[in-house]
Amino acid sequence: MDVLRSIWLFIQDQVLGMEWLNAVIENGLSALGLDTSTRWGGSIQFFIYDVIKITVLLCFLIFMISYIQSYFPPERSKKILGRFHGIGANIIAALLGTVTPFCSCSSIPLFIGFTSAGLSLGVTFSFLISSPMVDLGSLVLLMSIFGAKIAIVYVVIGLVIAVVGGTIIEKMHMENYVEEFIRKASSVDIESEDLNVKDRLVYAREQVAETFKKVFPYILIGVGIGAVIHNWIPESWIQAVLGSNNPFGVILAVLVGAPMYADIFGTIPVAEALLAKGAQLGTVLSFMMAVTTLSLPSIIMLRKAVKPKLLWLFIGICFLGIIIVGYLFNVFQYLLM
């Protein structure tokens, strides 16, 4: 058991966490005459280390996930979802969301396509909630920073929110609140082209390049904010606003995170810095969920597809679910850290 634990710690710290890289960067900056114990030196070290680490993991994960995703084009995903009914369909939709687009804006076109194809509204909403909030990449990245227990619980809770949210919308029979042009759209069932291994590898490589170009600016912004929080904002400030002494910290985190636009890769550095400064775990994870699921651009795009009543129901379900999860994580934080 001790051997397995040592192997896992090595994978978590040195492979996923790349602590060796942090040491290399620190030694390199020191050789250049920069004191990493100062605010400026620490900020530069944090920025370089996190940008390189997240970029390497991001490219590797996008490649692997895109290869898997090549087996699940929209028409095949539609057929898979069409085989299931009831809560089972919501669960499959939420799970399918883990191997599809990396941000909420890119999930919405698939949501529209699934809805116009006649799939259950609740099922498509389970997919829409799950896709940006939870993916295989986020699981690995969360493990690299927060550890396996927190990462797994985060993913499980995200899937629960997606399943419950979709089920509620299904039970409320909100089909008439989808915009007319989507409900009347004709579905063209196109068989997906059979791809060989070479085609899938080319597709995965193209997805890496395309997604990286879209995501990298947010990584730079997220790591930059994280570096400022990590080295310039006093710990007492973070604890006062997002610590255990503020009972409204979770709600504040969701309200601040919701209007922002980023994906999981851009929010993790900010979350990492906030947690290191004394913010509560549930508050930090609520912030991440709000940013990835309720970003203002995605809400604007979704408004083009659904009427205000359904839109506000979606926002309310996600908002309430994220807040409940935040407070639960705060209560049981001692079990996870």
What pTM did the predictor assign?
0.70
pLDDT at 312: 92
Measured at the CA of 111, the angle between CA 105 and CA 114, to 5 degrees, comes to 155
Which among 134, 145, 136 has a CA at the least distance from the CA of 325?
134
Distances (CA, A) of 58 to 32, 158, 165, 179: 29, 20, 28, 36
Mean pLDDT by groups of 10 residues along the chain of 337 residues: 72 76 90 88 88 82 76 68 77 78 59 71 84 71 77 85 89 82 55 72 85 78 79 73 80 80 69 82 85 74 82 89 88 77
Q: Identify residue 108 by its one-letter amino acid code.
A: I
Structural domain includes residue 197:
no
Q: Identify residue 100 by its one-letter amino acid code.
A: T
For the chain, how many structural domains are there in total? 1
Structural domain includes residue 207:
no
Structural domain includes residue 192:
no
Distances (CA, A) of 305 to 100, 110, 126: 20, 12, 16
Residue 33: CB atoms within 10 Å: 7
CA–CA gap between residue 118 and residue 112 (Å, rounded): 10
Which among 94, 189, 81 has a CA at the least distance from the CA of 133?
94
Which residues pair with residue 178 across a beta bridge?
A: 306
pLDDT at 197: 84
Structural domain includes residue 196:
no
Q: For 102, phi and psi rounded to 5 degrees?
A: -90, -10
- The domain in which residue 173 lies consists of 2-185+214-336
pLDDT at 188: 44
The encoded tokens of residue 310 equal 């359904």
Distances (CA, A) of 204 to 194, 209, 313, 321: 15, 9, 36, 33
Structural domain includes residue 181:
yes
Which among 203, 199, 216 has a CA at the least distance from the CA of 59?
216
Structural domain includes residue 206:
no
The encoded tokens of residue 113 equal 């396509």
Structural domain includes residue 176:
yes
Structural domain includes residue 208:
no
pLDDT at 25: 92
